[in-house]
Amino acid sequence: MSVQVSLKRLLGMGAALVLFLPLAAACGNDSSSASGSSSAKAPADVGGDWADKIATSFVGEVPTTGPAPAKNKSVWWMGCGNAVPDCKTLSDAGGEAAKLLGWDFHVADGKVNQGGGYAAAVRTALAAKPDALVIQGMDCSVIQQPLQEAKDQGVPVFGLQSLDCSEIDPSQPSLIPVKMQYHKDAETVQDYYEAIGKNAAAYLIGANDGKANVIANLGKGGFYEYMNKGFRDEMATCAKCEILKEVRWADADTAPNGPWIQAFTVALAKNPNANGVFIPFDSLMIGSGGKQAIKDSGLDLWLVGGAGNQAELLQSVRDGEKVALTNAQSFRQLSFGAMDNLNRYFAGEKQVPEGIGPTLIDAKHNLPAKGKFFDGSTDWLAGYKKLWGVS
């Protein structure tokens, strides 16, 4: 597995999730330009209630009540790969939260699953006999046997951005007994991923005045299908919008100059009337060449998706390019939320939504200063410190 693939699995976001976006007027506006034409507005002039809704729908506050930190706990975090900056951000933040909670914390480096790194990481942790394992961005089916060993050993597994085996195939066992709850309107991992797709489609509809003609780059299998459903369902709410082409890809297709970028380049050439593109991940936009392919095509269209954890994408927004990052979120906050959910499990309490989900970075929303990265739109760190009674 490549570093590119591991970066995508960070996204992170089942059950239907509805965005109540005020798009009806945009979708029914007969006076707007011909279908397929690009929005004449500059990015700084694009926005309205629909964009504000995307920016706020899945932003919530840290829970205000909960148990005191559990004592004498040992937690191992299965990191997707310390060599990948975003993977390391998540595991480092888990360690930061564990320190505040007073827990013994270790990271087992999954080494982007090279040489069976994920399975080796789980087994390394199990040998230490921890009180819990956290797996992040690893679907159960990829490491089913080691997770079965964890169950047999009586070690609970907490899933962050991870689908259980039974969620992928109902005939398979459930091996992730403790699951992250994200936001009150997107509690489950299925809801979370569906929200990512919905946000992207909603932005393309709004930015193109209800006449979005888009090329959608959609992954195959696993959590990708929830994201795809969210995108398709939201596009279907707009009568004058169309998905011109779906470019489907598997992880192995996304290497630079690989099958995905070649197929996407062809799609751009065959759809000159496109005014929007959905590319879900930063890694596809930058490392795999998606953003450059759009530039090379000469088409004037909106690029949406991505979490905005790469400086080049943030700079594109600052420079006034038609780029909107519709899956923006703080990975540090995500890790703190996971540790709070785990603390509730240790206390015998139910998990609760942690106020975490995809939001928006564009010219008018959440754009950090140059040299800075987005770390959430609320003071979540102070909230967790107060919740846990620590400083």
pLDDT in tens, 205-214: 999 999 999 9
Edge-to-edge order in the sheet of strand 359-361: 242-249, 213-219, 276-278, 302-304, 323-328, 359-361
Residue 229 predicted with pLDDT over 90:
yes
How do beta strands 276-278 and 213-219 pair? parallel
Q: Where is pLDDT greater, at 28 or 382?
A: 382
356 within 8 A of 336, measured Cβ to Cβ: no
3-state secondary structure of 280: coil
pTM: 0.84
Q: How far is CA 306 from each of CA 149, 229, 341, rounded to the nearest angstrom? A: 35, 17, 26
Question: What is the mean predicted confidence (pLDDT) over 37-55?
Answer: 80
CATH topology of domain 19-59+189-329: Rossmann fold (3.40.50)
Residue 292 near residue 267, CB atoms below 8 Å: no
pLDDT digits over 92-151, tens only? 999 999 999 999 999 999 988 888 999 999 999 999 999 999 999 888 988 999 999 999
pLDDT value of position 34: 35
pLDDT of 14 strictly over 60: no
Strands (E), the chain: 74-79, 104-109, 132-136, 157-160, 178-179, 213-219, 242-249, 276-278, 302-304, 323-328, 359-361
What's the pLDDT at 222?
84
Task: Give 77-92 pLDDT, tens digit per residue.
Answer: 998 888 877 789 999 9
Q: Are 287 and 306 in contact (CB under 8 A)?
A: no
Q: Where are the chain's structural domains? A: 19-59+189-329
* Residue 40 pLDDT: 54
Residue whose structure tokens are 């919008």: 241
Question: What is the pLDDT at residue 239?
Answer: 98
**Mean pLDDT, to the nearest integer, of 340-363?**
97
Length of the chain: 391
- Give me the mean pLDDT over the 30-40 stretch: 42
Query: What's the pLDDT band for 31 if we cut at 50, 70, 90?
Result: very low
Question: Is it the case that residue 2 has pLDDT exceeding 90?
Answer: no
Mean pLDDT value across the chain: 89
3-state secondary structure 84-151: CHHHHHHHHHHHHHHHHHCCEEEEEECHHHCCCHHHHHHHHHHHCCCCEEEEECCCHHHHHHHHHHHH
Q: If DSSP states are collapsed to H, E and C, what string results for 2-30?
A: CHHHHHHCCCCCCCCCCCCCCCHHHHCCC
Cβ–Cβ under 8 Å, residues 155 and 179: no
Q: Report the chain's terminal Cα–Cα distance, integer Å.
A: 40
Residues paired with 183 in a beta bridge? 186
Q: If you average pLDDT over residues 153-163, what whole number do you get?
A: 96
- 160-187 pLDDT, tens digit per residue, is 999 999 998 999 999 999 999 999 999 9
Predicted local distance difference test score (pLDDT) of residue 81 = 84
Does position 333 have pLDDT exceeding 90, yes or no? yes
- C-alpha 342/C-alpha 132 separation (Å) is 8
Q: Number of H helices and number of E strands within the chain?
A: 15, 11
Average pLDDT score over residue span 347-358: 96
Residue with tokens 């159960």: 140
Q: How many CA atoms lie within 13 A of 269 on its CB side?
A: 8
Helix, strand or coil for residue 76?
Answer: strand
pLDDT of residue 82: 84
